Chain A
């Protein structure tokens, strides 16, 4: 068994905190929320402190934050319909503002290569932007595959393959095709809004969490696979291989899959954090997951996001409507 032990409670946001993202190399956490600010937190001595507040960039709630893989740029997505790009090497100057979405931007995410940024929102669209060496952004594609607002994005850890999750209960996958971006699969199985999606380290599995209070595990089956799973031409087929239910009794707002330890963390509207691990004896075609740790009342209100540290793989952050950011040490008990 494992335990999730509280390490720090970070106070500073004046209202609900919506998202958290760890710097790819350093012990540095970015959080954002309804107070329209982004806060950066880092350890100094024994304690964690707010080391920087980025304000003035957004006129409404900052819904999401994402670090570029090199750690130089921070992208922030806001209900004000824009995405801001902040340059760490230029004292966090806001070096670009991406406009184009009709209204609320709900998420933004850098690709593994760092050359692409995906954004999505209430206008039901997913945008793919290319970043050149001078930090200029060009929109490569606007994808209108969902019938409702798009809540969350996840890039494949190795390939230029993007996943999006929506209020329409579906997950869509996209890949590059010549000079265009095309939808390559639809993952249909949740009974309500899909709030969060996360790939595993290998990019063979995808975990999703939903308003329907379940987590689903999807596995990629390549064309001509030995299991007899029908595929979509040259594209792999993603099939639901496991459903985890009964762990949260309110909507599950976020899911994070540690690429170091393999532990899957979920955050819910029931104020609870759950940590799951795949039973190593179970097959990839029928994986079983067990809860290795739970924190009931991890916050006093809904938990909106959970994120694993890259610099310190047993450390996770959670953020809540209660205005707090909390850090958890998840280790063998």
Chain B
């Protein structure tokens, strides 16, 4: 009788989204090979963590759909804060909470626990921006959602690596 905060819908809401190509891999620098140098997290690393997340309704990544963009990923390594703003493909996208939850879970799993992570809708790009932001910021609701096996499966599908 548990209730999932988001219910995936079957019909495509935005049947023909605009798509961009993927960014090239991050170039390796010589110091990357040197384990004695501690690298601070930078925005590109945050972007690399979230760009390959699968969209819940298109066979495309969040990067290809321009839902996540490098310029909307911020990190302050010293202050231990990460902020990702995402842009739903349409202002009434019912998947916004699920996409935001997937971004949050990806970052929670990948980043050291010292980081405080904020996942927000890019201002002005969704009709229910405040409600979605509040839901994504509520750690108790997020924790409870991730104990819901049905919802966790949906999130894990978004986070799974697709076969090439």
A residues adjacent to B (C-beta < 8 A)? 16, 34, 60-61, 63, 79, 81, 102-104, 106, 122, 149, 151, 167, 192-193, 211, 250-251, 269-270, 300-302, 321-322
Interface residues of B (CB under 8 A from A): 1-3, 113-114, 116, 134, 137-141, 143-144, 147
Cross-chain contact B147 with A302 (CB below 8 angstroms): no
Give the complex CA separation of A321 and B137 in angstroms: 15
Question: In the complex, how many angstroms separate the beta carbon of A211 from the nearest chain B beta carbon?
Answer: 7
Evaluate contact between A302 and B144: CB separation under 8 angstroms. Answer: no
CA distance A270 to B114 in the complex (A): 11
Contact A322 B113 (CB under 8 A): yes
Query: Taking A81-B1, A192-B134, A193-B138 as contacts, is the C-beta distance between A104 and B116 under 8 angstroms?
Result: no
Known: A300-B114, A321-B113. A16 touches B143 (CB 8 A): yes
Closest 8 CB pairs of A and B: A104-B144, A60-B147, A79-B144, A103-B2, A103-B3, A301-B113, A79-B147, A102-B1
Contact A106 B140 (CB under 8 A): yes
Give 28 CB contacts A-B under 8 Å: A60-B144, A60-B147, A61-B144, A61-B147, A79-B143, A79-B147, A81-B1, A81-B2, A102-B1, A103-B1, A103-B2, A103-B3, A103-B144, A104-B2, A104-B144, A106-B140, A122-B141, A151-B140, A167-B134, A167-B138, A193-B134, A193-B138, A211-B137, A211-B138, A251-B137, A269-B139, A301-B113, A322-B113
Q: Is the CB of B3 within 8 A of A122?
A: yes
Query: How far does the Cβ of A17 sit from chain B's closest Cβ, in whole Å?
Result: 12
Q: Are A300 and B113 in contact (CB under 8 A)?
A: yes
Find chain A residues with CB under 8 A from B3 CB: 102-103, 122
Which residues of A lie under 8 Å from residue B147 when comparing CB positions? 60-61, 79
CA distance A60 to B138 in the complex (A): 18
**Cβ-closest chain B residue relative to A301:** B113
Q: When A193-B134, A300-B113 are in contact, do A61 and B2 touch as well, CB less than 8 Å?
A: no
Q: Which residues of B contact A301 (CB under 8 A)?
A: 113-114
Q: Report Cα–Cα, A154/B68, bound state, in Å.
A: 42
Known: A81-B2, A103-B2. A149 touches B141 (CB 8 A): yes
**Chain B residues closer than 8 Å to A102, beta-carbon distance:** 1, 3
What's the nearest-Cβ distance from chain B to residue A308, in Å?
23
Residues of chain A within 8 A of B2, CB atoms compared:
81, 103-104
What is the chain A residue whose CB lies nearest that of B3? A103
Q: Closest chain B residue to A322 by CB distance?
A: B113
Q: Give A71 to B41 CA distance when docked, in angstroms.
A: 49
| A16 CA / B108 CA spacing, docked (Å) | 13
Q: How far is the CB of B146 from the nearest CB of chain A, in Å?
A: 10
- In the bound complex, what is the Cα–Cα distance between A80 and B137 (angstroms)? 22
Nearest Cβ on chain A to B142's Cβ, whole angstroms: 11
- Nearest to A321 among chain B residues (CB) is B113
On chain B, the residues within 8 Å of A149 by CB distance are 141
Contact of A122 with B144 in the complex, beta carbons under 8 Å = yes
Task: Give every chain B residue within 8 A of A81 (Cβ-Cβ).
Answer: 1-2
With a cutoff of 8 Å between Cβ atoms, the chain B residues found around residue A79 in the complex are: 143-144, 147
A302 partner residues in chain B, CB cutoff 8 A: 139
Measured CB to CB, the closest approach of chain A to B99, in angstroms, equals 21
Chain A positions within 8 Å of B114 at CB level: 300-301
In the assembled complex, the Cα of A270 lies from the Cα of B140 at a distance in Å of: 16
Q: How far is the CB of A50 from chain B (nearest CB, A)?
A: 23
Task: Name the residue on A nearest B114 (C-beta).
Answer: A300
CB distance from A216 to the nearest CB of B (A): 19
Q: For the complex formed, measure the closest distance between the CB of A325 and the CB atoms of chain B, giving whole angstroms.
A: 17
